[in-house]
Structure 1
Amino acid sequence: MSQPRRISRRRVRTALVLPALLCVLAACSGDPGTGGASDAAGPAREASPTPTGPPGTLFDDFDYTGVYDPSFAAHGWQLRTGGGGPGIKGTWSADGASFLSDPTAEGGKVLRLRSSTDGTKQGTTQVEVQTTSRNFFTGTFAARVHFSDEPASGRDGDHVVQTFFPISPSDASENYSELDFEYLPNGGWGSVGPQLDTVSWHKADPPDRVHQTLKRRLGGWHTLMITAMDGEVTYSLDGKKLFTSSGKYVPRDRMDVHFSNWFIDLPFAGGPRSWDMKVDWVYYKADEAVAPADLRKTVADFRTAGTAHVDTVPKG
């Protein structure tokens, strides 16, 4: 599928709410598990436990009372608000983010990102959550995400994009880096969904990237994994490889991690509707290719130990 229309999310910087406080590390008891290498990366390496968790690790179970819970900012998260693209510019709002119990999740609370529209810019809100630190480079990025094929309320048909991606702060950088999972249940930019796009960027302006599209309906929970190691980026869905990029389409700069739910355009009026994306947990392991089975064990061990948050990623 040709994609001349896709733009980087960094084209316009925006204001941010809930600035980060000092990082607070959750204590980790028990054996948090190991990070294993993928088939191409050789044998697994031990991740020796420390009082705050295995080194070079971010894990967050999103067990917060709300977006104004002090721990949310203290753990390095912030919400986007104000102007900028992509999507409907000037409609980013903190109102769409919340934490709630979900019986379909693996346990505990989930982060829900709800974007809404009535077909007008004035009646549209988009939502994005991101880390405040730019400490993520090579290694394994993973998240358990719930995609929506239908709106939570109102009529269907919007060109909505539900995303998980690490990205460098400036699209003007010579070392610009961006790695995308994008789910489009109704397509967009002239394509017909449903589809999951995996995209590795080299430059934002003019756009220079490679991608692959999976044409499949994916409503429900999925484990998304991006492994950036040894000159390759591999995207996996529920433990199965989808796409690999290499050469110039690999990270060249440190990145922050984002989740967002936004509208490409407003194809029709017709009353209010809302779209949900949910996140159960997020995980990052610096400088290691973690196998899917090891990822599952690590997350299960964190939860068994009652560890809702760990951040031992070196600060760049």
Structure 2
Amino acid sequence: MITLPTLLCALAACTGDPASGGDSGAKGTSAASASPTPTGPPGTMFDTFKYSGPDDPAFAAHGWQVRDGGGGPGIKDTWSAAGASFPADPTAQGGRALQLRSSTDGTKQGTKQVEVQSTRTNLFHGTFAARIHFSDKPSTGRTGDHVVQTYFPISPADDSANYSELDFEYLPNGGWGAPGPKLDTTSWFKADPPDRVTRAAKQRMEGWHTMVITAMEGKVVYSMDGKELFTSSDKYVAREKMDIHFSNWFIDLLPSITGQRSWDMKVNWFYYKADQALSPADVQQAVDGFYGAGTDYVNTLPKS
């Protein structure tokens, strides 16, 4: 049986003995000392993506939108809301996930890319975490496309003086002249001309993974399933408030691969804790606490 102190500790993302509060190792106000509000612990955003579809009023009310219309990256002007859905999924925690399905037949007219992003620019220093399902093969059709399955906080404007972007990008078939599979972790200082530092992990990623970014105290740390992958510092850090994006897109068109094919990326949940660098174990404890309490959505962040 879960006791009330234990549940409150989990929701506040603390560690150790619930009575004593534990120690996550973060600076400043500890998660344990922050009493949960009626809508959740302060400085927290959490979502299990339990929506009926992109047109569900709660989806927009909770600060999300599906991109459509013009622009890049990838195949410009091919963004479509048709690829976003919220199906039941027995492999997902809680049994449901956000699914992002991009498709192409090798032509621009036959290509649809998909991206879901937050609409409130209020994520800055702290811990960003998501449970992501990456795909090594298309759900339908032949493989070979240079597809990018990605999750990243980013500045609202590419020309911002304090431009910030922190990327996880999975390329099962490689791209930009580099072979795959590989997972790129990249911290940006400027979008144009590109100024960034990056590291590639060459491995297959099929399946669910917990991806965590901590942006605190002049450094950015990327980890996957509890293993640290890359750290950036100096000017390659978060310098302003950002949105969060989940995106599934194509680098280029490959008409040599005949027929229609579809690529799926899934997002089980997203969790953000402001101004604290939480360990992956702390993140999972907080997420489990929300699921255990039947909580599908929390946002106690100050409005931007």
TM-score by length of 1: 0.88
Stretches of structure 1 lacking an aligned partner (at least 5 in a row):
1-29
The within-5 A match list for 1:53-64 is 53-64=40-51
Listed as ranges, the matches of 1:229-308 within 5 Å are: 229-268=216-255, 269-308=257-296
Show structure 1 runs of 4+ deviating over 2 A.
33-45
| Match of residue 314 from structure 1 | 302
How many angstroms does 1:44 deviate by? 5.4
1:160-202 CA-to-partner distances (Å, cap 9, x unmatched) read 0000000001111110000000000000010100000000000
- Name the amino acid aligned to 2:13: T
- Give the match for residue 3 of structure 2: none
User: Are the aligned partners of 2:26 and 2:276 in contact in 1 as well (CA < 8 Å)?
Assistant: no
Tell me the percent identity.
68
Map of 1:16 onto structure 2? none
Unaligned runs of 5+ in 2: 1-6, 16-22
Tell me what 1:116 maps to.
Answer: 103
1:45 CA drift (Å): 3.7
Does the 8 Å CA contact 1:179/1:200 hold for their aligned counterparts?
yes
Contact persistence 1:64–1:109 (CA under 8 A)? no
Larger deviation, residues 30-39 vs 165-174 = 30-39
Q: 1:189-200 alignment to 2 at 5 Å?
A: 189-200=176-187
Q: CA RMSD in A?
A: 1.7
Q: CA offset at residue 112 of structure 1? A: 0.2
**Post-superposition shift, 1:38?**
5.8
Given that 1:142 and 1:225 are in contact with CA atoms closer than 8 Å, whether structure 2 keeps it comes out as: yes
1:114–1:275: 8 Å Cα contact kept in structure 2? yes
1:129-278 mapped onto 2 (5 Å cutoff): 129-268=116-255, 269-278=257-266
Aligned to 2:88: 101
Provide the secondary structure at the position in 1 that maps to 2:286.
Answer: helix
Taking structure 2 as the reference length, the TM-score comes to 0.92
State the distance in 2 between where 1:34 and 1:92 align.
36
Give yes or no for contact 2:90–2:96 (8 Å, CA) kept in 1.
no
Deviation (angstroms), 1:33:
3.9
Mapped contact 1:117–1:123 kept (Cα < 8 A)? yes
Moved more, 62-71 or 45-54: 45-54
Q: Which residue is equivalent to 2:39?
A: 52
AA of the residue aligned to 1:189: W
Matches of 1:184 and 1:157, distance apart in 2: 11
Separation (CA, whole Å) in 2 of partners of 1:38 and 1:213: 28
Aligned length: 288
Q: Write the deviation string for residues 256-287 of structure 1: whole angstroms up to 9, x where unpaired.
A: 00000000001234010000000000000000
- Aligned amino acid, residue 147 of structure 1: F
Q: Is the 8 A contact 1:224 1:235 kept in 2?
A: yes
User: Which amino acid in 1 is paired with 2:167?
Assistant: D
